[in-house]
């Protein structure tokens, strides 16, 4: 494909992605009030026991927050379309093995990321309630709207990325950077890291919230380690077959050189004589 053809293909993909983002932004604007109500729910629950409110620190802050919610929701809604456009643009330039790896990574990472973001979205009210609860009942909790939205979105994205990390581990194994044995030997470090991350991401007084996040992430890493070990075993078996082609027929190299393993066959030196 020529440079001009590449540019035309890129223009076509970008145009389709832009149209998808625009449609998603329109839907996001329509849903922005509902999303804001969900974000405001923990603050309203906190206001039952103390003075708590969502604060706009400038004249345009309410509009800015609405635009942030619109754009974020639009990107999330249209993500299947623009991700597919990016995937379809780079796919023709990959070889067969690279296409398999890329397609497998895409099909595994996207559902896991969505599941992680959903988990983070369900957990954030407990986190807001606990962190804001450190203040005294006589104090007022005034949350700046823009910082509050950024906090929630960073938390949601962090949990989504945590769900995708096992897929990166498998990808590093498939391209030969991270052996499966190394992943298995590091299980203590992995579990401790997951527990620390879960404790920081879900600092709830209820310890079950931490385990609700830690258990699925640990299970995903265990599955990733198992896939890596199976892949390494298959590569090792394939390499040994290439080094010793006679192993596929059940005949050793010595038998091939000697003309067979039967006792009725004369030795090679007698035949030569």
pLDDT, tens only, 17-43: 899 999 999 999 999 999 999 888 888
Give the pLDDT of residue 122: 84
Per DSSP, helices labelled H in the chain are: 3-46, 61-90, 96-132, 145-174, 180-185, 187-201, 207-243, 253-258, 268-272
The mean pLDDT value for 123-128 works out to: 81
Give the pLDDT of residue 67: 92
What are the structure tokens assigned to 134, written together?
């450190």
Give the pLDDT of residue 66: 92
Question: What's the whole-number average pLDDT of the chain?
Answer: 79
pLDDT above 90 covers what percent of the chain? 11
Burial of 126 (0-12, 13-18, 19+ CB in 10 A): middle
Give the pLDDT of residue 43: 87
Among the residue ranges 54-68, 126-140, 163-177, the one predicted with the least confidence is 126-140
The helix/strand/coil state of 53 is: strand
- Residues 6+ away with beta carbon under 8 Å from 83: 106, 110
Give the pLDDT of residue 1: 61
Give the pLDDT of residue 31: 92
Taking the C-alpha atoms of residue 148 and residue 159, their distance in angstroms, rounded to an integer, is 17
The mean pLDDT value for 123-144 works out to: 78
pLDDT exceeds 80 at position 119: yes
Give the pLDDT of residue 257: 41
What are the structure tokens assigned to 47, written together?
């206001």
Taking the C-alpha atoms of residue 197 and residue 223, their distance in angstroms, rounded to an integer, is 19
The mean pLDDT value for 75-92 works out to: 82
The mean pLDDT value for 64-72 works out to: 91
Biggest alpha carbon distance in the chain?
108
pLDDT exceeds 80 at position 160: yes
Give the pLDDT of residue 243: 65
pLDDT exceeds 60 at position 180: yes
Sign of the CA dihedral running 188, 193, 198, 203:
positive
Give the pLDDT of residue 207: 72
What are the structure tokens assigned to 148, written together?
């509050």
Taking the C-alpha atoms of residue 209 and residue 161, their distance in angstroms, rounded to an integer, is 18
DSSP string, 159-204: HHHHHHHHHHHHHHHHTTSS-HHHHHHTHHHHHHHHHHHHHHH---
Per-residue CA distances from 244 to 76, 251, 260 (Å): 52, 10, 17
pLDDT, tens only, 190-227: 888 888 877 776 655 557 667 777 888 888 888 888 98
The mean pLDDT value for 238-253 works out to: 59
pLDDT exceeds 80 at position 54: yes
Going by C-alpha positions, the residue among 160, 10, 145 that lies closest to residue 86 is 10
Give the pLDDT of residue 245: 56
pLDDT exceeds 90 at position 70: yes
Give the pLDDT of residue 234: 87
């Amino acid at each position: 494909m020529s440079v001009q053809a590449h540019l035309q293909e890129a223009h076509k993909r970008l145009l389709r992605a832009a149209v998808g983002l625009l449609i998603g932004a329109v839907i996001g604007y329509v849903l922005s009030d509902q999303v804001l109500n969900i974000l405001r729910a923990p603050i309203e629950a906190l206001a039952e026991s103390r003075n708590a409110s969502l604060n706009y620190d400038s004249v345009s802050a309410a509009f800015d927050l609405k635009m942030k919610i619109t754009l974020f929701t639009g990107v999330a809604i249209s993500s299947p379309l623009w991700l597919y456009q990016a995937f379809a643009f780079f796919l023709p330039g990959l070889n067969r093995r690279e296409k398999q790896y890329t397609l497998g990574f895409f099909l595994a990472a996207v559902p896991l990321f969505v599941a992680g973001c959903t988990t983070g979205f369900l957990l954030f009210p407990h986190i807001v309630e606990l962190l804001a609860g450190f203040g005294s009942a006589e104090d007022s909790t005034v949350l700046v709207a823009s910082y509050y939205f950024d906090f929630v979105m960073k938390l949601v994205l962090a949990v989504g990325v945590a769900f995708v990390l096992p897929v990166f581990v498998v990808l590093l194994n498939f391209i030969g950077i991270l052996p499966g044995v190394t992943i298995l030997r590091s299980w203590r470090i992995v579990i401790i890291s997951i527990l620390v991350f879960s404790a920081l991401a879900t600092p709830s007084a209820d310890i079950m919230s931490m385990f609700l996040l830690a258990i699925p992430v640990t299970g995903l890493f265990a599955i990733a380690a198992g896939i890596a070990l199976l892949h390494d075993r298959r590569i090792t078996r394939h390499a040994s077959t290439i080094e010793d082609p006679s192993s596929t027929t059940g005949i050793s190299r010595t038998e091939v050189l000697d003309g067979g393993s039967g006792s009725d066959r004369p030795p090679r030196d007698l035949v030569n004589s």
